[in-house]
Amino acid sequence: MVNARPRRVRTTRRSVKIAERIAQTLISIGGIGTIVAVSLIMVFLVWVVAPLVGGATTGPEARVSFPEQPGSLRAAESLESRERPLAGECVDAQVDEYRLLAWSVYTDGTFVVRRLDRGDELVRRALVPDGDPSGTSAIGAPSAIGVDVERGALGLGFADGSVRLGTVDFTAELLSGEGAARFEALAPGARETDGARVVERSEDGVLRAQTCRVAIGEPLDTGTTSAVVLIDQLETDAGRTLATWHADDSLALYRVVERENLMTGEITRKLESGRVSFARPDGFTPCRLLVSSGGSSTYLLSRDGRAARFDTRDPSAPALAELVDLLPETDAELTTARFLLGRTTLLVGDRRGGLGAYFVVKPDGATTRDGAHLVLAHELGREDEARGGSPAVVALATSQRTRLVAVAYADGAIHVFNVTSGKDLGELRVDGDIAALALAPKDDALIAFGAHGAHGAHGAHGASVWSFDPQHSEVTFAALFRPVWYEGYGGPEHVWQSSSGTDDFEPKLGLVPLVFGTLKATFYSLLFGVPIAILAALFSSEFLAPKVRVPIKSTVEIMAGLPSVVLGFLAAVIFAPFVQDVVPAVLASFATLPLALLAGAYAWQLLPQRLAVRLSDWRRFACIVAMLPVGVALAAWLGPHVESWLFAGDVKLWLSGERGSPFGGWMLLFTPLAALAVAISGSQFVTPWLRARSFGWGRAACARADLGRFAFNVLATFALAAALSGACAALGFDARGSFVDTFVQRNALVVGFVMGFAIIPIIYTIAEDALTSVPSHLRLASLAAGATPWQTAVHVILPTAASGLFSAVMVGLGRAVGETMIVLMATGNTPVMDWNMFSGFRTLSANIATELPEAVKNSTHYRTLFLAALLLFALTFAVNTAAEIVRQRFRRRAYQL
Amino acid sequence: MIRARSETLRSEVVRKSVKPSPSIGGGSTSGQASHERPTRKVFDAVSEKRTFEAELHPALLTEEMVLEVDGFSLFYGAAQALWEISMGIPKGKVTALIGPSGCGKSTLLRSVNRMNDLIDTVRISGTMRLNGDAIYAPGVDVIELRKRIGMVFQKPNPFPMSIFENVIYSLRIDGERKKSVLEEVCEASLRGAGLWEEVKDRLHDSALRLSGGQQQRLCIARAIAAEPEVLLLDEPCSALDPIATGRIEDLIEELKGSYSILMVTHNMQQASRTSDYTAFMYLGRLVEYGPTEELFVQPRLSETEDYVTGRFG
């Protein structure tokens, strides 16, 4: 009986379809999500970095006219005997950090405080009132005024040779309770004058009253009656240093030490003084006196551009250090000069519109008293300066927090430069002459004070105010990637030093040392890792039985999972100190280990054939495992001897260049090269000769000849290396200073070794895959032709897998470039640039890890670190892409076979 | 170097039965009655898991042997792949091994140059002698042995290097550096393989650009460049198209005389066209071995007849 079973209808169940769709969606989301995530990281990096390339932003000009000119100024003009300051009547001016008030000091000793938004005068006084009750002659108009805008310090010199010191400062107080009641109606952002102060309600509703106070001390007797012509003072926490230039051509130095009596609160000032006469050369017309940071140098600038620098490290014994012509052109004329933040870099503006930044450097063999020379480090100029038609520099203002300088030109143009990077942040223009410039304390506004009658609305005296944001003026392409001449350095250099303990620090944002460090780490780790990994891959793919190969491969792959922080820890805490203890033995081991292994292999050939075949399974074990300790022991024994033969008994002192001849270092470098040369020439000439001779010899005779050849090669290697080293040493070349130099505990050798270990697993895995994927029929063809496994590996397997091996190395390189923890812990993180294998370095990645946590968000430093990250991203991306392209090519080629 | 027949490479091999090797000319059971065609004896041997005494034709007696196989067995782990094969390969002749898939003909071929050593689990017993020198004996240097034997594989396998480098590979690894020698050998070998005219202008091009048939002839050229005492061909045409196959067969015809060739083929027409002697194997046993014409036209065993006429296999 046959059941007429209906034909089974095949349909896909609904649940299967749904599962299919869900899986497809999830996989798509996952895949696209990954791509989007990586792209977003890239976009984010670019987004953070992008503002670095932008210029400064400036708000619209706000014009303020000062209703009335200071009446006493007209009288001041009649004082003809006085050296008048260079740029107009206003000596200097400054605004407070909330931009409510501005003070100005005029040449006749008038001090004015104005409301910045309207120009109303709040205070006007003579700094030293007429008829001063103290009864000294230091009254009336001062003959010299020195202002330190940064610290708010004033110095006044008088015609009778006496000086007075003073301070000017802004005080802000927050109003509350009764004091605030009167200003109840004040809207946020609005201001109101209240006597000598200005009250503002800030945007968040706080009432703030801003006052400007000036205080002038008692006259100080300087022990001379010669009129003070120029004065400058330097205020430090220890007191003040005061310099005066007198009409009798003498420079006087005073250090004012202030002591406060704890019982009475009375302050006593004590003067330490010194004096030196200066025989002015012809045409030397002193116009500026400037005391540098720490009082170490005092500059007397002449109108014709010459500068007399006095060594004033000891104020009681000043002396002329050097006379320099800052403006060598014959018709040059110095118009203005000022210190940049930190009082080390001197900015000098001239009649032709040039602005030079000078500072002292201490070159070897300097002839001056203090071993220093004043040099021109940067030239800052307007774009049109090259054409020679640039108007004179009339006023300078320096920032109180960065290395910005605002420059006013005679044609009413104002430029702001960053002195370090030389970046021109753009141009502002006013009609008429500029008497003084000020950069607000937070670098958020730029104020130009006009000269009398020439500037401001209706021809009246006034000022122009711009809100201003310098953005990231420190960064230019050249500042990041080209050598820059930083303050105090002997010349332009690549330096990375992003922060320091002081506020007047010059940030040095050269990325080149970090890129160099990254490359150095990569170089040394590949030097260790690649040969080991590739040879290991070759060994396990070509010589190991498959039974053993699989577990070994997985073990090595597990090694890749070893956290790099553990490796870094081992490197820094255990390996580096160990290497430091046994440097000579480590150096010796580079020679003894290969020698021991090779000697083992040659010695094996001496075994009788029967024994050799019977023990063939133990051959590699005997050659490697047994000879390794021999090599190590040899190195340990040889270490001290090597140290005394080559390195004058102490390798660290030798490396520092303190003792010994250059011979040892050359031996170190030439031995591997000589080994290579001997091996190649040996296989070219000796081996064929030996082969021809040995025809018909017995096995033992061949083995002995081989061993003899090996011994000969070893001797030839050392002889060749010694000959080359001797030649180099005799010619006076010294390897120290290049690849070998001063020993530092955490050095490239240690990092190379440990990071080599970190990259070995990944290189090994990929290389092993590449080697095993070489079709086995090639291997068989070669073996069937009578090739040894090693010949097969070298002649057939390696060339076929070459691109795969290349890709493995590239992936390892990518890993080494991005590796952070090991280099962070084991390199010492000094961003130095040398190839010395015994010194540390700082990599891009370690730099980001160290500095990003302390970088202020959105600061230049922060964005530069992101730029470093972007660079790293680009570097690893390029390397990995190259590896992948080669791998694809390799795969195609492998399919062809 | 003559060694005792019972000597084996590995001590753990235990010979299942020690028996005298069959003498050439056939055993007593089959020598006189070729017309009776005893049937199914091989199948009995297989089902009873024992060796089989091969039917050897007397014509072989007249030949000088380059390779002598004597009581040769081979095990892959526990599985026995060759069952006491005893045969000689005549010098200067082409000998074909035929048989259905899995009969061990390739295994036997690869045993000659000890390529099976590369497999961990292989054990062998019995002896093989190449011109009188034992192949399997302690102290035999496998590398030296393989230099005396040429081999061409099923699939063309030129190395990814130039044609020139491919041909002179065996000289390269022997350290020959003289350019004149290398060029001379290259030309002679390529001429010998009938490839010279086609490639003489592009000797330094990659060998991978050649066609499949050309590549296989290149492999033959590579093998004969080493001047081997015996040339092993492992199904040399199985991966080629009919035209290329024809050219290889012509080539084998031309090489006859100068080289002793042992060839595995599953193509009976090819065996009958190109070989002087043919051995029929079945499931690890040598069944019948004799001059090709006799074996194909007048096989002594019915199994052989069934196979060559296409009734099984």
The string of pLDDT tens digits covering residues A627-686 is 888 888 888 888 888 888 777 777 777 777 767 777 777 887 888 889 889 888 887 787
Which of A692, A708, A729 is the endpoint of a domain? A729
pLDDT number for residue A129:
65
In a domain, B141, yes or no: yes
pLDDT digits (tens, 9 = 90+) for A844-866: 999 999 999 988 888 889 999 99
CATH number where A525 lies? 1.10.3720.10
The encoded tokens of residue B170 equal 């065996």
Residue B233 falls inside a structural domain? yes
- ∠ CA(A413), CA(A414), CA(A415), 5° rounding? 125
SS3 content of chain A, % helix, strand, coil (to 5): 40, 25, 35
Residues of chain B with Cβ-Cβ distance to A799 below 8 Å are 160-161
Q: How many domains does chain B have?
A: 1
User: For residue A452, what pLDDT is reported?
Assistant: 59
Cβ B177–A777 below 8 Å, yes or no?
no
A134 has a pLDDT exceeding 50: no
| Same domain (yes/no): A308, A440 | yes
Residue A45 has pLDDT above 90, yes or no: yes
Interface test with A, best of B140, B159, B162 (most A CBs within 10 A): B159
User: What pLDDT score does A83 carry?
Assistant: 33
Task: For B140, name the nearest residue in chain A, comparing CA atoms only.
Answer: A613
pLDDT of residue A460: 52
Residue A131 has pLDDT above 60, yes or no: no
Residues of chain A in Cβ contact (below 8 Å) with chain B: 545-547, 609-610, 613-614, 687-688, 691, 775, 777-778, 780-788, 791, 795-796, 799-800, 893, 896-897
Task: Give the contacts of B193 (CB within 8 A, at least 6 positions apart).
Answer: B217, B218, B220, B221, B224, B251
How far apart are the C-alpha atoms of B85 and A888, rounded to whole Å?
48
The conformational region for residue A275 under phi > 0 = left, psi -120 to 50 = alpha, else beta, is: beta
* Closest CA of chain B from A604, distance in Å: 15
pLDDT tens figures, A582-641: 888 888 888 888 888 888 888 887 877 777 777 777 777 777 778 888 888 888 888 888
- Give dist(CA A728, CA B40) in Å, integer: 87
Residue A410 lies in a domain: yes
Classify residue A622: in a domain, yes or no: no
Average pLDDT over residues A497-522: 88
Residue pLDDT, tens place only, A474-484: 888 888 999 99
Residues A516 and A368 in one domain: no
pLDDT of residue B138: 77
Instruction: Give the mean model confidence (pLDDT) for residues B254-275.
Output: 89
Q: Give me the pLDDT at residue A589, please.
A: 85
- Whether A75 has a pLDDT exceeding 50, the answer reads no
- Total-model pTM: 0.81
Which position has the token pair 């009734």? B311
Question: Do A752 and A709 fall into the same domain?
Answer: no
Shared-domain flag, residues A198 and A279: yes
List, for residues A345-359, the tens digit of each pLDDT value.
999 998 888 889 999
The ipTM of this complex is 0.84
Q: What residues make up the domain containing A784?
A: 512-580+740-896
Which residues from chain A sit within 8 angstroms of residue B143, using beta carbons? 786-788
Write b or e for each residue in A813-831: b if 16 or more Cβ atoms lie within 10 A of its Cβ, otherwise e: bbbbbbbbbbbbbbbbbeb
Q: How confident is the model at residue A513 (pLDDT cuts 50, 70, 90)?
A: very high
Cβ contact, residue pair B139, A687, below 8 Å = no
Q: In terms of Cα–Cα distance, which of A276, A264, A97, A91 is closest to A171?
A: A97
pLDDT tens across A677-731, in order? 988 888 778 777 877 777 777 777 888 888 888 888 889 988 998 888 888 888 8
Interface contact A687-B115, CB threshold 8 A: no
Cα A451 to Cα A868: distance, rounded to the nearest angstrom:
47
**pLDDT at residue A344 greater than cutoff 60:** yes
Q: How far is B159 from chain A (nearest CA, A)?
A: 6
Give the minimum alpha-carbon distance from A691 to chain B in angstroms, rounded to a whole number.
Answer: 9
Name the least confident of A253-267, A272-286, A495-509, A550-564. A253-267
Return the closest-CA partner of residue A144 out of A79, A85, A93.
Answer: A85
Q: How far is the first Cα of chain B from the last one, in angstroms, to the nearest whole number?
A: 40
For A508, counting Cβ atoms within 10 Å of its Cβ (0-12 exposed, 13-18 middle, 19+ buried), the class is: buried
CATH code for the domain in which residue A269 is found: 2.130.10.10
Q: Do the domain assignments include residue B313?
A: no
Partner residue opposite B151 with nearest CB, options A547, A784, A800: A784
- Cβ neighbours of A609 in B, within 8 Å: 139
Distance CA A298, CA B135 (A): 98
Q: Kindly list the residues of chain B whose beta carbon comes within 8 Å of any beta carbon in chain A.
A: 113, 115, 118, 120, 138-139, 143-144, 146-151, 153, 155, 157, 159-161, 169-170, 172-175, 177, 208, 219, 222-223, 226
For residue B262, pLDDT beyond 90: yes
B9-22 pLDDT, tens per residue? 333 333 333 344 44
Chain A residues within 8 A of B222 when measuring between CB atoms? 781, 785
* Predicted confidence (pLDDT) per residue in A176-188, tens digit: 877 777 888 888 8
Q: What percent of chain A has pLDDT over 70?
A: 92
Percent of chain B residues topping a pLDDT of 90: 29
* Contact by Cβ (8 Å): B147, A784: no
By the 10 Å C-beta count (0-12 exposed, 13-18 middle, 19+ buried), A792 is classed as: buried
CB contact under 8 A, A782 and B169: yes
CB pairs under 8 A between A and B: 81
* Same domain assignment for residues A468 and A521: no
Residues A557, A442 share a domain: no
Q: A109-129 burial, b for 16+ CB within 10 Å, e for fewer?
A: bbbbbbbbbebeebbbebbbe
Pair A298, A365 in one domain = yes
Query: Assign residue A426 a region: left if phi > 0, alpha if psi is -120 to 50, beta otherwise?
Result: left
B147 chain-A contacts, CB cut-off 8 A = 785-786
Same-domain check for residues A759 and A691: no
Contacts of B172 in chain A (CB under 8 A): 795
pLDDT of residue A39: 92
Distance between B173 CA and the closest CA of chain A, angstroms: 6
Domain match, A456 and A573 both: no
Q: Is B139 helix (H, G, I), strand (E, B) or coil?
A: coil
Contacts of A569 (CB under 8 A, 6+ apart): A825
Q: What's the mean pLDDT in B47-73?
A: 86
Q: Is position A628 within any domain?
A: no
**Residue B247 forms part of a structural domain:** yes
Q: What per-residue string of b and e applies to A264-281 under the rule 16 or more CB within 10 Å gives b?
A: eeeeeeebebbbbebeee
Helices (H), A458-511: 477-481
- Is the residue at A497 inside a domain? no
Each residue's pLDDT tens digit, A97-121: 888 888 888 877 778 888 888 877 7
Contact criterion met (CB < 8 Å) for B169 and A687? no
Of A545, A781, A800, which has the smallest distance from its Cβ to B120's Cβ? A545
Number of domains in chain A: 3
Token digits for A97?
Answer: 């950090």
Q: Do residues A695 and A754 both lie within one domain?
A: no
Domain boundary among A681, A707, A729: A729
Residue B25's CATH number: 3.40.50.300
Both A184 and A247 in a single domain?
yes
User: Per the CB < 8 Å rule, is B208 touching A781?
Assistant: no
Chain mean pLDDT for chain A: 83
Q: Which of A795, A797, A798, A893 to mutate to test the interface with B (most CBs of B within 10 A)?
A: A795
A216: exposed, middle or buried (C-beta count within 10 Å: 0-12, 13-18, 19+)? buried
Give the gap in angstroms from C-alpha A609 to the nearest C-alpha of chain B.
7
Residues in chain A within 8 Å Cβ distance of B120: 545-547
Q: Which residue in B117, B148, B151 has the most chain A C-beta atoms within 10 A of its own C-beta, making it the best mutation to test that interface? A: B151
> A786–B146: do the CB atoms touch at under 8 Å?
yes
Asked if A777 lies within 8 A of B159 by C-beta distance, the reply is: no
pLDDT at B37: 56
Among A610, A782, A897, the residue with its CB nearest the CB of B138 is A610
- In the prediction, which pLDDT does A23 show? 96
Instruction: Tell me the residue range of the domain where B99 lies.
Output: 2-308
B148: closest CA of chain A, how far (Å): 8
3 state DSSP class of A335:
strand
**Are A897 and B226 within 8 A, CB to CB?**
no
Same domain, A798 and A669: no
The single residue listed with the structure tokens 């000659």 is B112
Contact criterion met (CB < 8 Å) for A784 and B226: no
